[in-house]
Amino acid sequence: MLDTAAIEVENVSITFDGVRALDRCTLRVEKGESLGIIGPNGSGKTTLLNVINGYYRPEDGRVMIFGRRIDGLPPHRISRMGVGRVFQVTNVFKNMTVLENIMAQGVWMKERKNLRSRALEIMDLVGLPRNLKDELAGNVSGGQQKLVDIARALLPQPEILMLDEPVAGIHPIIKEKIIEVVDRLRRDGKTLMVVSHDIPSILRMVDRLAFMNAGSILMVGDPDEVRRSSKVVEAYLGV
Amino acid sequence: MIFPLEVLFGQLLVGAILLGGLYSLVTIGLALIFGVMRILNIAHGEFIIFGAYTAYWITSLMGVDPLLAIVLAIPVSAFLGYIVNRLLIRGVTKSFDAPIVSSFGLLLIMQASMLIAWTGDPRSIVTPFTAESIHVGPVLLPIIRLIAFAVSITILTLLYIFLSKTYLGRAIRAISQDSESAATLGIPVQKIQTFTFVLSTVLAGISGGLVALLLSFQPTFGPEFLLKSFVVLALAGVGNIPGVIAGGLILGIGESYGSFFLGSGLRNVVAYAMLIILLLARPRGLFGGRAVREV
Amino acid sequence: MKAGAILAAVAVAILLSIPIIAAGNNFVITLGFIFSVYIILALAWNIVGGYTGMLNLGHAAFFGVGAYTLALSTGAGIHPYIGVMAGGLAAVGLGLLMSPLLRLRGDYFAIGTLSLAEAIKVAVLNIHAYGIRVTSYEGLGRVENYYFVSAVLVAVGATTYLLQRSRLKLALVSIRENEVLANASGINPLKYRVIALLLSGVFTGIAGGIYGYNLLYIPAEHVFSIEWTIIPLFMVLIGGRGTLTGPLIGSFIYLGIYYVLQFTLTEISLLAFGLVVVLIIKFMPQGVIETLFIRTLRIKRVSII
Ligand SMILES: Nc1ncnc2c1ncn2[C@@H]1O[C@H](COP(=O)(O)OP(=O)(O)O)[C@@H](O)[C@H]1O
Ligand SMILES: [Mg+2]
């Protein structure tokens, strides 16, 4: 049991209309670690998260969560195993209030009571002011919607949280909040996968960094080392 | 029961096909608006009946030939379509159900206005050849139905050429695929939607004129044509013209054979049953697969 | 919240005292009966059309099936009020039959339900071109029927109130707002939509049953008429969908406008009514509640549940 990782991706490949979005991609995320993924646009980062979530079924290879094989399971099953996801595009139920948005994630949960108080606690945790709870989610700022998105993902207390570009295009003040929240989750021992273009921000949220290009992970290691590697510099400047 | 083959595959089939051609034309206006503007126009049948009355009054008051009257009715339908689009449709198109409800309001307005203006008396356009038929072997072809069929298929063919060959037609199709991308390509989306709406009301009006040649009609007959159009639309999938023609023919055949075997009372049940089974089995329409050209 | 409870208590008290106040005035009791039926239908339609956002244009079929089941049951010698409940059950059956349509996209669902309702109507008309007679039952007349319908109205109101505060509502509204996201949050859209449709059906079927018994004669054309779909739909859209107060306020506005127009503009009432509908959709697409109360009067919105 000692060597089960939180997430294991082994030789996963997937093709869309002839484009090889993932090409024998292999990656291992240990329990309690926070792994960052960087890579040029279109290198397959989002697709990798989508495969882990179960939105796409890999053509080849396997995916395991806590040692259990999950490729082929439907998204809601994987979600209920404790895998949270914050999408690249901010996604809220626009005509529901902020609080209802967060609580919607708990509809299926066994626990009958406390849904509301738990949702309120999570609002505090991500730094959403409580007086926003009755606002329609469509009416709060873009950055606050992102916080709602993150709060929703956190409601079932997932062991693993995957965040896709959580700070892209976000107002600097909220961006700071988001980085703090992710950092706190990391210190609390959650397993995290963070995809971002923003290298200074990602360095504050992760323990290790992976570099992805053309559908494969080319390098994983100490953030500073990866960042300075000639392969990475080339890929970024070369495109 | 045994039916002679020449009845089953002769007269009945020919009648069904002639009827089906008209159903295609009756539907095309609804299909165009649905395809391009994503609006389900519940008042579609009223535009058809309005076209029938316009042609009726032009021919009976001015004494012109009925077919010419249908042509002369075109600007009237176009004008009505323009006004309706201007006042009711523009600006409420964001969600799919607001236009459904407001076009239902339009249905009430048009139906009530027509009842007040023209009473509920059944009318029909009588032509010199209304009772004439040609004999082809054992089969009887009523001239009026032949004309309606020929006019319908000609108009649909012209429309098909227009949509696939002209700039305007391509722009309409581009909007039906993805109006946001079309806008970024510099296509004037709103103008073209207005044009499409007017075109649709004109097509509905023409089909109404043809209906008036074949059947007697009343202000309250609109919903019947709306439902028939739904069936054809569901058969065709979103606005592809060959699909609409095929859908119209299938409806014509289904209805004719259905009422022949089950009794005319169940004529419409056959149509609805076809529709529901189709919706469930092929939600995108029988001919609405990916490869089919969309309007 | 207290104000709401008092208001609800007053409303129920008025509802129940109408026959006493009317003191045998049949017109008033009948009007109260009809209004209650409409309001039940609006609240029931709202469960599907408002909370799940699926435009059910086949609602009339629930009503007609309820009325027809009642007629058939009394014909078989069953107690009429049991026949009314059987009408509700029959409507649930119809709801199950309709539920595969819930997989469809919104506009196709609208077409499908409308056609299903029309098909049922035509089929019934084909068997009973004029309708069927209901055997009346000693001691169950206008006033008793009025109380029955009031009880149904209170039940559907209470159901909506509880729904407002339930996880079911969260599930339904989140599916309405963004089906993909809801699915990603572990919610199965079809399951919840079916639940909503059956709830909507049972109340409408019961309403159809009691309406039929009150008429004592069931003209198929009338009980399956599309007006039993369209009027509730208007009531909900006028008031605002997906709430308890929206359909209630919408019902009063609708019935007010409708009856005023009927008595003043008899000839052109439908025309004027069409205009009202069009104007409301154009200028208050979110309904009166959202537009007047929340935006203009700035009444605070609260997350209930
Ligand atoms: N659903 C899809 N259909 C077609 N192509 C896709 C789809 N998802 C991703 N791709 C393609 O896969 C490649 C990787 O995309 P993505 O994972 O979004 O990259 P990144 O997130 O690293 O920018 C791109 O070429 C993209 O166009
Ligand atoms: Mg991406």
Does A134 touch chain C if contact means CB atoms closer than 8 Å? yes
Residue in C closest to B86 by C-alpha: C282
Residue A21 near ligand 1, beta carbon < 6 Å: yes
A99 by Cβ neighbours in 10 Å (0-12 / 13-18 / 19+) ranks as: buried
Q: What percent of chain A is modeled with pLDDT above 90?
A: 40
Q: Is B208 helix (H, G, I), strand (E, B) or coil?
A: helix
Does A88 touch chain C if contact means CB atoms closer than 8 Å? no
The token pair that represents B265 in the structure block: 């009372």
**CA of B230 to nearest chain C CA: how many angstroms apart?**
7
User: Which residues of chain B lie closer than 8 angstroms to C114, CB-CB?
Assistant: 227, 230
Q: Looking at the domain assignment, is residue B139 inside a domain?
A: yes
Cβ contact, residue pair C271, B234, below 8 Å:
no
Phi, psi of B2 (to 5 degrees): -120, 125
Interface predicted TM-score of the whole assembly (ipTM), two decimals = 0.76
Tell me how far apart the alpha carbons of residues C305 and C295 are, in angstroms, rounded to a whole number: 22
pTM recorded for the entire structure: 0.81
Cβ contact, residue pair A100, C305, below 8 Å:
yes
Tell me how far apart the alpha carbons of residues A70 and A140 are, in angstroms, rounded to a whole number: 36
The reply to whether CATH 3.40.50.300 applies to domain A7-82+158-237 is yes
Top-confidence residue, C272 or A130: A130
B113 by Cβ neighbours in 10 Å (0-12 / 13-18 / 19+) ranks as: middle
Q: How far is the CA of A85 from the centre of ligand 1 (A)?
A: 17
Tell me the CB-side half-sphere exposure of residue A185, using CA atoms within 13 A.
31
pLDDT confidence of residue C272: 80
Q: How far is the CA of A64 from the centre of ligand 1 (A)?
A: 22
Number of domain units in chain C: 1
Residues of chain B with pLDDT under 70: 1-8, 91-97, 238-239, 283-295
Top-confidence residue, A169 or A62: A62
Cβ-Cβ contacts under 8 Å for B98 (sequence gap 6 or more): B92, C281, C285
pLDDT confidence of residue B294: 26
Q: Computed over its alpha carbons, how large is the radius of gyration of chain C? A: 19
Write the residue in B95, B106, B112 that is nearest to C278 by C-beta.
B106
Phi, psi of A196 (to 5 degrees): -160, 150
pLDDT confidence of residue B217: 93
Cβ contact, residue pair C177, A79, below 8 Å:
no
Q: Is the dihedral of CA C76, C77, C78, C79 positive or negative?
A: positive
Q: Are B275 and C115 in contact (CB under 8 A)?
A: yes
* pLDDT tens digits, B93-104: 566 667 878 888
Residue A44 near ligand 1, beta carbon < 6 Å: yes
Does A79 touch chain C if contact means CB atoms closer than 8 Å? yes
**CA of A185 to nearest chain C CA: how many angstroms apart?**
20
Q: Are C109 and C102 in contact (CB under 8 A)?
A: yes
| Mode of pairing for the β-strands spanning A208-213 and A216-221 | antiparallel
**CA of B143 to nearest chain C CA: how many angstroms apart?**
31
Residue A239 near ligand 1, beta carbon < 6 Å: no
Residue A46 near ligand 1, beta carbon < 6 Å: yes
The token pair that represents B149 in the structure block: 């069929």
pLDDT confidence of residue B287: 58
Cα distances (Å, whole numbers) of residue C6 to A122, C1, C3, C163, C247: 35, 9, 5, 20, 19
The token pair that represents B256 in the structure block: 């004719």
Residue A43 near ligand 1, beta carbon < 6 Å: yes
Q: Looking at the domain assignment, is residue B12 inside a domain?
A: no
Q: Computed over its alpha carbons, how large is the radius of gyration of chain B? A: 19
Q: Which chains touch B (3 or more CB pairs under 8 A)?
A: C
Number of domain units in chain B: 1
* pLDDT tens digits, A170-206: 888 889 989 999 999 999 999 999 998 888 889 999 9
Residue written as token pair 């159009």:
B229
Q: How far is the CA of A211 from the centre of ligand 2 (A)?
A: 14
Q: Supply the residue whose CA is at minimum distance from atom 17 of ligand 1.
A: A44
Tell me how far apart the alpha carbons of residues A41 and C147 are, in angstroms, rounded to a whole number: 68
Q: How far is the CA of B153 from the centre of ligand 1 (A)?
A: 44
Cα distances (Å, whole numbers) of residue B212 to A186, B44, B130, B144: 75, 16, 11, 11
Question: Which residues, chain by chain, have CB under 5 Å from ion ligand 2?
Answer: A 46
Cβ contact, residue pair A93, C177, below 8 Å:
yes
Cβ-Cβ contacts under 8 Å for C7 (sequence gap 6 or more): none
Q: Supply the residue whose CA is at minimum distance from atom 8 of ligand 1.
A: A47
Q: Looking at the domain assignment, is residue B262 inside a domain?
A: no
Does A110 touch chain C if contact means CB atoms closer than 8 Å? no
Cβ-Cβ contacts under 8 Å for C46 (sequence gap 6 or more): C160, C232, C236, C241, C242, C243, C246, C247
State the CB neighbour count (10 A cutoff) for residue A57: 12
Tell me how far apart the alpha carbons of residues B118 and B278 are, in angstroms, rounded to a whole number: 38
Q: Which domain holds residue C90?
A: 2-304
Tell me how far apart the alpha carbons of residues B183 and B57 are, in angstroms, rounded to a whole number: 41
- Interface probe with C: pick from A93, A120, A148, most Cβ of C within 10 Å: A93
pLDDT confidence of residue C279: 83
Cβ contact, residue pair B280, C271, below 8 Å:
no
The domain spans of chain A are: 7-82+158-237, 90-151
**Window from A110-114, A165-169, C29-33 with minimum mean pLDDT:** A110-114
DSSP letter string over B101-113? HHHHHHHHHHHHH
Mean pLDDT of A10-18: 90
Q: For residue B210, what is the enclosing H or E element?
A: helix B189-214
pLDDT confidence of residue C155: 96
User: Which residues of chain B lie closer than 8 angstroms to C53, CB-CB?
Assistant: 97
In this structure, which amino acid lies at residue C66?
A: G
Pocket test for ligand 1, best of A12, A14, A19, A193 (most atoms within 8 A of CB): A19
Tell me how far apart the alpha carbons of residues A167 and A150 are, in angstroms, rounded to a whole number: 11
Closest-CA residue to B129 (of B141, B138, B118, B115) = B141
**Window from A116-120, A219-223, C263-267 with minimum mean pLDDT:** C263-267
pLDDT confidence of residue C166: 87
Q: A185-201 as b/e, with b when 16 or more CB fall inside 10 Å?
A: bbeeebbbbbbbebeeb
pLDDT confidence of residue C127: 83
Residues of chain C with pLDDT under 70: 1-2, 265-267, 286-305
Residue A16 near ligand 1, beta carbon < 6 Å: yes
Q: Are C107 and B31 in contact (CB under 8 A)?
A: no
